[in-house]
Amino acid sequence: MESFNELQREILRLKAEKNALILAHYYVPLEVQDVADAVCDSFAMAQKAAGAENDLIVICGVRFMGESAKILSPDKTVLLPSPDAGCPMADMVTPEDVMRLRKLHPEAKVMCYVNSSAAVKAVSDVCCTSSSALRIARKLDCDEIIFVPDKHLGSFVAAQVPEKRFWLHDGFCPTHHRVTEADVLAAKRAHPEAVFAVHPECGEDVVKYGDLVGSTAEILDFARRTGAPEILIGTESEIVERLRRELPEKRIYGIGSSFVCPNMKKITLRALYECLRDEKYQVELPEDQLRAARKSLDEMVNS
């Protein structure tokens, strides 16, 4: 059990023995991604869990991702390898914050980034992902939108939907937020021929330099398709490592040294093995919260 390879073999054995489905987010360590049935973004994990025949689902990601899977698969057992792997941005908004904003802006509809708790989803009108936020904002039947919790994604969308007024909550992803314009300019000076793919969770002073501004999946797709031999990646460092392994013919660079999500790194092989072995750390949500949160996710899918 000392080496990763042994742990990986034991995880695969347990997965087969228990007929479990392991789903991993792009930001967890590569050795965990390697034993997953699928590697994808947070909402895609929830959709894959819902569409699978397996009754035991292991979500290798942070807490809100496990909750989203449980919302779409309430009758399945959903496990999280590390129960203390939270999302600081999701924790920056509460249901009480949403209700306060509703009172201040009674004509507005609440658009909730999927990076949020089930409790916040339950008091929102519609959810969105980073790839669907712009489309949903344009289609939403209202003139005012309360956007929670990410002020950076909200600002990015608002700038492209000038016909609507946006009220932004003051939340952000610390990992994306701490990357600065100076970091980008230093990287561009070091690699002047590189194209830049960046996530909209970064601040406006960073996003403005992007040749592609998009979700993690869109960044990966851009890197695979572009003819540019050098690419700067403006999101979590595991994406850089994944692309370097996948695209050895291209030169892939990160921005600065601080693009690491500490919560995603809590999803280790050891944590995954023990979670699956003992079937511990089940995601449980109140029935009324499950139903209410499901409505905002369904509204997103149907928009």
Q: What percent of the chain has pLDDT over 70?
A: 99
**Token pair of 118 as six digits:** 């089930």
Where does the chain have alpha helices with state H?
Answer: 4-18, 30-33, 42-51, 63-72, 88-91, 95-104, 118-121, 133-139, 151-160, 174-177, 181-190, 204-207, 216-225, 237-246, 269-278, 287-302
pLDDT tens digits, 51-74: 999 999 999 999 999 999 999 999
**Could you tell me which residues come within 8 angstroms of residue 88 by beta carbon, excluding any fewer than 6 positions away?**
173, 174, 263
Question: CA–CA separation, 69 vs 62, rounded Å?
Answer: 11
pTM of the entire structure? 0.94
204 contacts 157 by C-beta, under 8 angstroms? no
The domain defined by 4-86+264-287 folds into Rossmann fold (3.40.50)
Q: Which segments of the chain belong to CATH 3.40.50.10800?
A: 4-86+264-287, 89-173, 179-254
Task: With cut-offs at 50, 70 and 90, classify the pLDDT of residue 3.
Answer: low
The pLDDT value given to residue 222: 98
- Of 181, 210, 203, 100, the residue nearest 148 (C-alpha): 100
CB distance 25 to 40 below 8 Å: yes
Burial classification of residue 49, based on how many CB atoms lie within 10 Å of its CB (0-12 exposed, 13-18 middle, 19 or more buried) = buried
Evaluate whether 156 touches 113 at the Cβ level (below 8 Å). Answer: no
Mean pLDDT of 221-235: 97
Whole-Å CA distances, 260 to 41, 215, 239, 268, 296: 16, 16, 10, 15, 30
Mean per-residue pLDDT, 246-250:
97
Residues with Cβ within 8 Å of 139's Cβ and at least 6 positions away in sequence, in order, are: 303
Q: Assign a CATH topology to domain 179-254.
A: Rossmann fold (3.40.50)
User: How does the average pLDDT of the chain come out, rounded?
Assistant: 96
What architecture is the 89-173 domain classified under in CATH?
Answer: 3-Layer(aba) Sandwich (3.40)
Q: Are 232 and 239 in contact (CB under 8 A)?
A: no
Burial class (CB in 10 A: 0-12, 13-18, 19+), 91: middle
Structure token digits, residue 57: 């689902």
Q: Is the pLDDT of residue 2 over 50?
A: no
Burial 196-228 (b: 16+ CB within 10 A, else e): bbbbbbbbeebbebbebbbbbebbbebbeebeb
Q: Could you count the other beta carbons within 10 Å of the beta carbon of residue 244?
A: 15
pLDDT of 36 higher than 80: yes
pLDDT (average), residues 19-33: 97
pLDDT value at 4 more than 80: no
